[in-house]
Amino acid sequence: MIGITKTFGNVIANRDINLQVEAGEILGLLGENGAGKTTLMNIVYGLYRPDSGAIKINGKPVSLSSPAHAMAQGIGMVHQHFKLIQNHTVLENIALGYKDAPFLFPTRKVADDLRRLQENYGLEINPDVYVWQLSAGEQQRVEILKALFRGADLLILDEPTSVLTPQEAQGLFRTLSRLASEGHSVIFISHKLDEVLSICNRVTVLRHGQVVGTKDTARVDKRELARMMVGREILFDLKRKDVKKGGVVLEVQGLHVNNDRGLTSVSDVSFDIKAGEIFGIAGVSGNGQQELVEALTGLRPIDSGQILVNGRDISRASPYTINAMGVSHIPEERIKFGTAPSLAIFENAVLKQHGNRAFSGRLFLDFASIKEHAKRIVSNFKVRTPSIDVPVRTLSGGNIQKLILGREISGKPSLLIASHPTYGLDVGATQYIRSQILQLREKSVAVLLISEDLEELVELCDRIAVMFKGKIMGIVAREDLNLEHIGLMMTGSHARSACEAGK
Kind of pairing between the strands at 52-57 and 3-9 = antiparallel
Residue 23 burial class via C-beta count within 10 angstroms: exposed 0-12, middle 13-18, buried 19 and up: middle
Q: Give the shortest CB-214-to-another protein separation in angstroms.
A: 27
**Residue 146 is a binding residue for another protein (CB under 8 A):** yes
Sign of CA dihedral 376, 382, 417, 474: negative
The region of 194-202, 294-302, 431-439, 451-459 touching another protein under the rule CB under 8 A is 294-302
Q: What is the CA radius of gyration of the chain?
A: 24
| Shortest Å, Cβ 463 to another protein | 27
Size of the site for another protein (CB under 8 A): 61
C-beta closer to another protein: residue 93 or 161: 93
User: Smallest Cα–Cα separation from 208: which of 427, 43, 455?
Assistant: 427
Name the residue among 156, 105, 165 with its Cα closest to residue 135.
165
- Is the CB of 105 or the CB of 503 nearer to another protein? 105
CB-wise, 49 or 222, nearer to another protein? 49
Q: Is 129 among the residues that bind another protein (CB under 8 A)?
A: no
- Report the residue from 1, 103, 112, 241 that binds another protein according to the rule CB under 8 A: 103
H or E segment to which residue 216 belongs:
strand 210-216
316 binds another protein (CB under 8 A): no
Looking at residues 387 to 406 of the shown chain, list those that interact with another protein (rule: CB under 8 A): 390, 394
Length of the chain: 503
> Exposed, middle or buried, 7 (CB in 10 Å: 0-12/13-18/19+)?
middle
8 A C-beta contact, residue 415 and residue 250: yes
Does residue number 101 form part of the binding site for another protein (CB under 8 A)?
Answer: yes
Q: Which is nearer to another protein, 370 or 472 (CB)?
A: 370
32 is a site residue for another protein (CB under 8 A): no
Cβ-count burial 382-412 (b if 16+ within 10 Å, e if not): ebebeebeeebeebbbbbbbbbbbbbbbbbe
x/- string (CB under 8 A) for another protein, residues 332-371?
----xxxxxxxx---x---xx-xx----x--xxx------
The distance of closest approach from Cβ of residue 365 to another protein in the complex, given in angstroms and rounded to an integer, is 6
Q: Is 65 in the site for another protein (CB under 8 A)?
A: no
Does position 125 interact with another protein (CB under 8 A)? The reply is no
Q: Residue 111, interface with another protein (CB under 8 A)?
A: no
Is 173 exposed, middle or buried (CB count within 10 Å of its CB: 0-12, 13-18, 19+)? middle
Element spanning 3, H or E: strand 3-9
Is residue 501 involved in binding another protein (CB under 8 A)?
A: no
Which residue in the set 120, 177, 198, 318 belongs to the binding site for another protein (CB under 8 A)? 318
Give kind and range of the element (H or E) at residue 193.
Answer: helix 193-199
Provide the minimum distance between the beta carbon of 278 and another protein in the complex, in angstroms, as a whole number.
23
Q: Please state the closest distance from residue 476 (CB atom) to another protein, in A.
A: 30
Residue 47 interacts with another protein (CB under 8 A)? yes
**Is the CB of 11 or the CB of 390 nearer to another protein?**
390
Residue type, 145: L
Nearer to another protein, 83 or 376 (CB): 83
Amino acid identity for residue 355 in this structure:
G
- From residue 68 to residue 87, the character string flagging contacts with another protein as x (rule: CB under 8 A) and all else as - is xx-x-----x-x---xxxxx
Residues 222-261 as x/- pattern, contact with another protein by CB under 8 A: ---------------------------------------x
Give the SS3 label for residue 26. Answer: strand
Whether the CB-CB separation of 184 and 154 falls below 8 Å is answered with yes
Alpha carbon dihedral 431, 290, 90, 82, in 10-degree steps, equals -20
> DSSP code of 480?
G
11 near another protein, judged by CB under 8 A: no
Q: For residues 454 and 136, what is the distance between their CA atoms, to the nearest angstrom?
A: 17
Site residues, another protein (CB under 8 A) = 45, 47-49, 66-69, 71, 77, 79, 83-88, 92-93, 95-97, 101-107, 130, 132, 146, 261, 297-299, 318-320, 323, 329, 331, 336-343, 347, 351-352, 354-355, 360, 363-365, 390, 394
